[in-house]
Amino acid sequence: ALMQVRLESFEATRQLIIEKETDMLTGLFNRRKLFETLAVIESPNSDKPSGIMMIDIDYFKDFNDKYGHAAGDKCLSHLGEIFKKVAQNYKMDFYRYGGEEFVALVYGYSKADLLSIAENLRIAVQNADMDSHNFTVSIGIAYCGEKQIRNYGNIIDQADKAVYAAKRMGRNIVCMEQKANESND
């Protein structure tokens, strides 16, 4: 009987961790888990991402205003499914960063690979039918490569700038941060 109790408490603990780390709407990791992960990867000898993507749903505020938050929530949960499907094909983790913003940490890819992964993601979203609504995303990429980075917050900022560039260029676009990455501390 003791074994059973142990297993149940292990399972309860596991559920709590999942709840703590998961955005319940999308089923993706949440912002809290992102910052925990960033703290881990800033330490030596940890597996580092080769790039960070910021993904922003185009015109999502307008959609929410027009169709209401329940419809918006439904679409967010659809997007979570799409992101999870894409993540199965690559070494990457998705996090819900804010209302309609997501961050992906991508591991072990070249600049060219990152662009094509982001492009695949963009197309997957564009082609998805979400309750007969269609969405697009703007994606910004910051490439880290093999460098030792002490502050990943800066890399997220770079990805964020790249998203703004994608939006300025007309949305539904992938844009890579072009600036030289020397100043990462």
pLDDT in tens, 97-154: 999 999 999 999 999 999 999 999 999 999 998 888 999 999 999 999 877 788 899 9
pTM for the full predicted model: 0.89
Question: What sign does the dihedral 64-67-69-74 (CA atoms) show?
Answer: negative
Query: pLDDT at position 183, please?
Result: 44
Question: Does 100 participate in catalysis according to the annotation?
Answer: yes
- Percentage with pLDDT > 90 across the chain: 74
Beta bridge partners of 94: 104
The backbone torsions φ and ψ at residue 181, rounded to the nearest 5 degrees and listed phi first, read -95, 35
- Position 38 pLDDT exceeds 90: yes
Which of 100, 101, 119, 182 is an active site residue? 100
Asked whether the beta carbons of 47 and 107 are under 8 A apart, the reply is yes
